[in-house]
Amino acid sequence: MGSVPRRARKPPGRDRRRAAPDPAAPAASPAHTRFLQLDRERALREWQRYEGTAQRELFRQLRERFLLRHAANGAWSLDIGAGPGRFSALLGGPGATTIAVDLSREMLVVGRELGPPGGSPDGHRVTSVQADAARPPFPDGAFAVVALVGNALGFEASSGPHLLESAERLTAPGGLLLVEIAPGPGERSRYLARLPLGAVRRLLAAPPAAVLPRLLREGFEPEPARHRPTSFRRWTVAELTARWASAGWRREETVAVAPVLGPDPERIEEVARDPRAWGRLRDLEELVGGWPERWPRAAAVLIAARRPPRDANDFDGVPTSLR
């Protein structure tokens, strides 16, 4: 894709034609108010949510691998609801610029403190902006990659469709929209759940093909329903697929997060003791997570959808104005 020309090095500015408030935008939701009032302790906990245990490491690494598969080189990307920016640096490759947007000032401050200092060695820069992504201070179609990871859509509840529409508009023609949803409570393999811990570790050190037949034969057990705020909105893959298909979008990858071991801290910790088993567990989780049967009950599903190109010049997903 090449490097970004010097004239495109400034972040996409406010589109003056869209400076007036959007009359269709909903009023600030209770979730918006909570995010605006978050304190430093809550921001630190959000950063630490993906570290400290093998289970958290697995959940983080599966998300990281997904984002890296869809990172844009030499282009602009946008991380909506970035929080402290745990995943922002993964949205771009060499020569890219990522803007991390969040309502909470404390989230962005913590992200600047804990994130990689001075950008990455390959020239990828991350900058943060405090803003409401439902009323974005950026022009439509400005970003080659737009990410809505975490539970931003779910916690937006009735305002979620407007936030999703905003993310879709910000995605460049031919660009990618990366979305995380929470369709259900999660699940895990019945077969692996009944085996002793050591047996699970030894079995998962083998290639995934050695495990799949028994996984398929015994099926998957749903997790108990988790407490969610009454306003939390569950999205489904089928719902988003229908929405995007009607607008010409193409779903390029869909993967449930950790449907094999699920949220089983003991077994995940045991597997993490063996580097070979740990690597093959991640491969197995991604393989099984790509099966459509695993999506409806998954606690988290990651989706990459490509906006239809405007013309042949948009085939690589990089906005012409930012090349």
* 56 in any annotated domain: yes
66-75, 133-142, 241-250, 264-273: lowest mean pLDDT where? Answer: 133-142
Residue 19 has pLDDT above 90, yes or no: no
Same domain, 35 and 145: yes
- 3-state SS class at 209: helix
pLDDT score recorded for residue 118: 52
Helix (H) or strand (E) holding 169: helix 160-170
Amino acid 242: pLDDT: 96
pLDDT at 282: 97
DSSP strand pairing (220-222 vs 250-256): unpaired
Evaluate if residue 280 carries a pLDDT over 70.
Answer: yes
What's the pTM? 0.83
Q: pLDDT by residue (tens digit) across 211-223? A: 999 999 999 999 9
pLDDT at 121 over 60: no
Total of domains in the chain:
2
User: What domain range is 214 assigned to?
Assistant: 187-222+258-294
Instruction: Take residue 37 and report the two structure tokens written for it.
Output: 């009032």
User: Do residues 173 and 246 both lie within one domain?
Assistant: yes
Same domain for 74 and 144: yes
Looking at the fold, whether 277 and 312 belong to one and the same domain comes out as no
For residue 31, being part of any structural domain is answered with yes
Give residue 8's pLDDT: 35
Give yes or no: residues 192 and 99 share one domain: no
Sheet holding 125-130, edge to edge: 125-130, 97-102, 76-80, 143-148, 171-181, 301-306, 250-256
User: Is 18 among the domain residues?
Assistant: no
**Closest of 152, 188, 43 to residue 104, by C-alpha:** 43
Return the SS3 of 126.
strand
148 and 218 together in one domain: no
**Mean pLDDT computed over 107-117:** 77
What's the pLDDT score for residue 231?
74
CATH number (domain holding residue 165): 3.40.50.150
> Are 198 and 122 contained in the same domain?
no
CA 295 from chain center: how many Å?
15
Nearest to residue 178, comparing CAs of 242, 114, 92, 117? 92
Q: Quick one: DSSP state of residue 214?
A: H
- In this model, does residue 127 exceed pLDDT 60? yes
- Indicate whether 149 and 57 sit together in one domain: yes
Q: What is the pLDDT of residue 195?
A: 97
Q: Which two tokens stand for residue 130?
A: 């405090």
* Average pLDDT score over residue span 261-278: 97
Q: Mean per-residue pLDDT for 190-202?
A: 97
d(CA 94, CA 74): 6
Whether residues 252 and 272 share a domain: the answer is no
Q: Record the tokens describing residue 198, joined without a space.
A: 């050591």
Do 36 and 167 fall into the same domain?
yes
Kindly state whether residue 288 falls inside one of the protein's structural domains: yes
pLDDT tens profile 22-80:
455 555 555 555 555 666 677 677 777 888 999 999 999 999 999 999 998 999 999 99
Report, as an integer, the average pLDDT of 4-23: 42
Measured distance CA(249)–CA(93) in Å, rounded: 24
What tens digit of pLDDT does each residue of 301-315 get? 999 999 999 865 554
Facing residues of 83 across strands?
none
More confident residue, 150 or 68: 68
Query: At a CB cut-off of 8 Å and minimum separation 6, what does 64 contact?
Result: 87, 90
For residues 66 and 157, the model is more confident at 66
